[in-house]
Amino acid sequence: MALDKVDRTLDIRGKICPYTLLETRETIKQLQAGEVLEVICDYAPAAETTIPNFCRKKGYPIESTQEDPGLWKIRIQKTD
């Protein structure tokens, strides 16, 4: 499933856990099923572990790309 169309963007640069996950989770709650959230993140533990683990547990499709050293774009599709 391609996550090409972004419905909302969340910029959490400069934030660390648990705030990165809390803001991501709260923003996903505001989406309708099928919508895609793009998260811009500069905190490696959140981008590589915390947010992907949350998405896997919830069954949300996720694509993550590292744009530059220390900057990730994570696309998450809400399914429920």
Residues catalogued as catalytic: 17
SS (H, E, C) 7-70: CEEEECCCCCCCHHHHHHHHHHHCCCCCCEEEEEECCHHHHHHHHHHHHHHHCCCEEEEEEECC
**Cβ 52 vs Cβ 69: under 8 Å:** no
